[in-house]
Amino acid sequence: MKKNTPHSISLLNGFSDQDKKIIQQALAVVGKIPNDEDYMRPKGIEVATILLEFNVDLCTLIAAILSDPRLLNLSPKPLIKDHFGHTVAKIVNDVNWLNTITVYSPEMAEQPNQAETLRRMLLSMTQDVRAVLIKLAFRMQRLRGLAQEAQEVRQFIANETLDIYAPIANRMGVYQLKWELEDMAFRYLQPEAYRNIAKSLNDKRISRENSVTRFIDLLKEKLQQEGIEAQICGRPKHIYSIWKKMQRKNLAIDELYDLLAVRVIVDNLTCCYASLGVVHNYWQMIPKEFDDYIANPKENGYQSLHTVIVDSEGNRIEVQIRTQAMHDFAELGVAAHWSYKEGGKHDAAVTKSINSLRKLIANRDVEDDALGENFRNELFHDRVYVLTPKGQLIDLVKNATPLDFAYAIHTEIGHRCRGAKINGRIVNLTYKLKSGEQVEIITTKDGGPNRNWIDPNLGYLKTSAAISKVKSWFKNQQHSQNIPTGKTILEKEIQRLGVKSPNLQELIKYFKQEDANKLYEAIGRNDITAQQLATFFKIPELEASLIDVDSAKNQRLKKNPSSIICVEGVDNVLTSFASCCGPVHGDEIIGFISLKKGITVHRKNCENIAQLSLERQARLINVSWGTKEARYFVPIIIHAFSAQNMLNNITQVLSQAKIHIATAFLDTHPDFSAELHLTIQVKDTDQLIAIFNKISCLPNIVDVKRKI
């Protein structure tokens, strides 16, 4: 093992003997790294030393040591989870991922939304917020050694720091890291501007310090005379923030008001305004520089009194006055500083998440993993971040699909989408995207969207914008195209529902159309949906829903002796199964008293039962399954990514299980997907579930479900 270095010795300070042993075990692991590794790469020990300034907990410190990138090349690799626990291993994995991510490009600086999307992606894909803190410390260490690297590398790292990592530090309220990251990056990007500001500050440093000290001493005296207890201190300014303000206000450094700044912390709200009165009574104020953020808090909740005065020597000094509670709120970074600096809006989830982070940083005794999870789960739980083949980041809602991605890129790409690849692998268009995946869309030269894409039950589209684009496409199709399309859709719905062709005039009247062509056109444009057509075709008496494709066979199956169905309080009654929901032994069932055909047995969750009027609900009766074994016909729907070999594969599965097929109808779509409608005969729900599981395992199958 290597000898202890000053860094490794300092890591032990302030910890208990038991914690010191764990730290020494981690140091022993990195002690196995050969000495001839790349000397410019940040070391885990050095990063852990930086984090000591933030009073981090033991898990964070150990994870920082073991996140040393050189350990990834060690053979055999250290068993971090076995020796240091699940939490440390999880943080180390996150830091290793953050240290290897290569999404950023200099072009992102010209696209602010891209930089923001990358920040969100990095945060959303991190399981434990402490990993982000360690990554920021790694970046600080990298910047400290950046002078030894090539100019091109210095430019890239500095730009990435200002675009991505400093805003993350600011957003999380870790201001000390933020300021140092900004100043060091600025030093490499604009060395001359950095030197000029630094020289100007240094030339007048003693003078400024003396001015601030004299002002503080005099202010303390005046406040004490008024009986006001206060903590007063100077507030440091940082080179990058000074430069940004010079650029924003187009002022020279000597013209800035707040190079000299003082903060006053008092006991209560009354003392805030009393202190302000003292300041304004004894010093000349600059009216346009006064802000009352107590009476009018900033959008993020920040509260303080800000004023700028001119002292007897002509120095302009900014004075901030606040209570301890206001100060704690601002310093903890609870969605205060970052929101108004970056122009964002206050968000309750961000507030809670940053508060969780600050607790982790400030309290070594915190061992609750839930704090770390809050940051990820609450802050970006509803978003997913994916990349185009060219590296552009796309921000989508959770559970978005490749089809949503295609429409986010361009409407025409969405319309002509026929397939997708995720990280080079072909997937279904209903695949749910995960953050960090690269998505490639396969398109056709011609063609348009498929109507199934806007069916919420099929899962093709999640985003409302994409759904709206598909609907608009159908609405904008020419009149002559929508009429035959509408006729075809109507015919298919009649066939699917197993009903007789309707009286066309009744259909026109029901949907309030002018004539048959207008009706077909509305159906073709999807103004009249398949669900609305199904509603029209519902027959008034529920027992009439017994209509099926094979009526002769089903008449034998639907009439059952009382030993199969037991009816509460009724003997020797005729019972039959409703084909609309296809009850199977094991389902929860309910009976409906028919006027002519006895008791019709439905599943309790049948749509027809749910839509009964109050008058007809009185005709419901409790029924239960009897003891006699029987077989039941059940309609099912199977969706597949491709129709190739679909029917053959499913038939084999059903044949091996000795399941009889009563009816079958295969519907294929322009995107090569397919929908197979089957009516199969099973003995109970257990057998049905077993069949569903076997079918789901077949190639290209998207899902299988009962037709409700």
- pLDDT tens-digit map of 596-631: 667 888 888 888 888 887 777 877 888 887 766 667
Lowest-pLDDT range, 213-222, 254-263, 288-297?
254-263
Chain position carrying tokens 């296809």:
582
More confident residue, 37 or 475: 475
Dihedral, 246, 250, 254, 258 alpha carbons, nearest 10: -50
Alpha carbon of 376 to those of 19, 99, 301: distances in Å? 28, 18, 23
Q: In the predicted model, is pLDDT for residue 569 greater than 70?
A: no
Q: In the predicted model, is pLDDT for residue 555 greater than 60?
A: no
- pLDDT tens-digit map of 377-391: 444 556 788 888 887
pLDDT band at 9 (very low <50, low <70, confident <90, very high): low
Q: What is the per-residue pLDDT for 345? A: 42
As a whole number of angstroms, the distance between CA 584 and CA 560 comes to 13
Q: What is the per-residue pLDDT for 630? A: 67
Q: What is the per-residue pLDDT for 371? A: 47
Q: What is the per-residue pLDDT for 216? A: 93
Alpha carbon of 423 to those of 388, 426, 437, 458, 462: distances in Å? 10, 9, 6, 24, 21
Question: Which tokens is 349 given?
Answer: 């989830």
4 Cβ contact list (under 8 Å, min separation 6) = 27
Q: What is the per-residue pLDDT for 572? A: 54
Task: Kindly state the average pLDDT of the residues 289-301.
Answer: 80
More confident residue, 22 or 15: 22
The secondary structure of 209-251 as a DSSP string is HHHHHHHHHHHHHHHHHTT--EEEEE----HHHHHHHHHHHT-
Lowest-pLDDT range, 65-79, 499-513, 561-575, 691-705?
561-575
As a whole number of angstroms, the distance between CA 633 and CA 584 comes to 8
Q: In the predicted model, is pLDDT for residue 544 greater than 50?
A: no
- pLDDT tens-digit map of 16-64: 888 888 888 888 888 888 775 555 555 888 888 888 877 777 888 899 9
Question: Which tokens is 97 given?
Answer: 């991922």
Chain position carrying tokens 């040591």:
65
264 Cβ contact list (under 8 Å, min separation 6) = 219, 223, 230, 231, 232, 275, 319, 320, 321, 322
Task: Kindly state the average pLDDT of the residues 282-294.
Answer: 90
Q: In the predicted model, is pLDDT for residue 105 greater than 90?
A: no
Task: Kindly state the average pLDDT of the residues 505-534.
Answer: 82
Closest to 663 measured CA to CA, from 647, 644, 677? 677
| Cis before 76? omega within 30 | yes
Q: What is the per-residue pLDDT for 628? A: 62
Strand, coil or helix: 599: strand
pLDDT band at 541 (very low <50, low <70, confident <90, very high): very low
As a whole number of angstroms, the distance between CA 132 and CA 127 comes to 10
Task: Kindly state the average pLDDT of the residues 329-356.
Answer: 44
CB of 393 within 8 A of CB of 435? no
Question: Which tokens is 708 given?
Answer: 């409700």
- pLDDT tens-digit map of 402-420: 999 999 999 999 999 988 9
290: left (phi over 0), alpha (psi -120 to 50) or beta: beta
Q: In the predicted model, is pLDDT for residue 319 greater than 90?
A: yes
Q: How many CB atoms lie within 10 A of CB 500?
A: 10
Phi, psi (rounded to 5 degrees) for 368: -80, 110
H-helix or E-strand containing 600?
strand 599-603
pLDDT band at 322 (very low <50, low <70, confident <90, very high): very high
As a whole number of angstroms, the distance between CA 545 and CA 81 comes to 60
Q: Which residues pair with 344 in a beta bridge?
A: none
535: left (phi over 0), alpha (psi -120 to 50) or beta: alpha
As a whole number of angstroms, the distance between CA 290 and CA 288 comes to 6
Cα–chain-centroid distance for residue 489? 37
DSSP 165: I
Q: In the predicted model, is pLDDT for residue 3 greater than 90?
A: no
Phi, psi (rounded to 5 degrees) for 631: -125, 145
CB of 640 within 8 A of CB of 676? yes
Give the chain's mean pLDDT: 77
Closest to 456 measured CA to CA, from 441, 444, 471, 443? 471
Q: In the predicted model, is pLDDT for residue 101 greater than 80?
A: no
206 Cβ contact list (under 8 Å, min separation 6) = none
- Long-range contacts, stretch 686-693, CB < 8 angstroms, 24+ apart: 686/586, 687/657, 687/659, 688/584, 688/634, 690/657, 691/653, 691/654, 691/657, 691/659, 692/636
> Residue type at 241?
S
Task: Kindly state the average pLDDT of the residues 443-468.
Answer: 86
Helices (H), ranges, 283-395: 324-331, 337-342, 348-362, 369-379
Helices (H), ranges, 266-368: 269-282, 324-331, 337-342, 348-362
Chain position carrying tokens 């808090």:
297
pLDDT band at 690 (very low <50, low <70, confident <90, very high): confident
pLDDT band at 263 (very low <50, low <70, confident <90, very high): very high
Helix pair angle (175-189, 239-249), 10° resolution: 70
As a whole number of angstroms, the distance between CA 647 and CA 674 comes to 10
Q: In the predicted model, is pLDDT for residue 341 greater than 60?
A: no
Q: Of the segments 251-265, 358-372, 387-401, 544-558, which one has the largest average pLDDT value?
A: 387-401
Q: What is the per-residue pLDDT for 282? A: 92
- pLDDT tens-digit map of 138-160: 989 888 888 888 888 888 889 88
Q: In the predicted model, is pLDDT for residue 395 greater than 80?
A: yes
User: In percent, how much of the chain has pLDDT > 90?
Assistant: 14
Q: In the predicted model, is pLDDT for residue 6 greater than 60?
A: no
Task: Kindly state the average pLDDT of the residues 271-291.
Answer: 91
- Map out the domains of the chain with their CATH numbers: 6-188 (1.10.3210.10), 204-331 (3.30.460.10), 385-473 (3.10.20.30), 479-536 (no CATH), 542-625 (no CATH), 632-706 (3.30.70.260)
> Residue type at 482?
N
Q: In the predicted model, is pLDDT for residue 264 greater than 90?
A: yes
Lowest-pLDDT range, 240-249, 324-333, 645-654, 689-698?
324-333
- pLDDT tens-digit map of 221-248: 999 999 999 999 887 678 888 888 888 8
Lowest-pLDDT range, 194-203, 419-428, 461-470, 566-575?
566-575
Q: What is the per-residue pLDDT for 236? A: 66
Q: What is the per-residue pLDDT for 644? A: 73
Query: Full-prediction pTM beyond 0.85?
Result: no
DSSP 72: G
pLDDT band at 333 (very low <50, low <70, confident <90, very high): very low
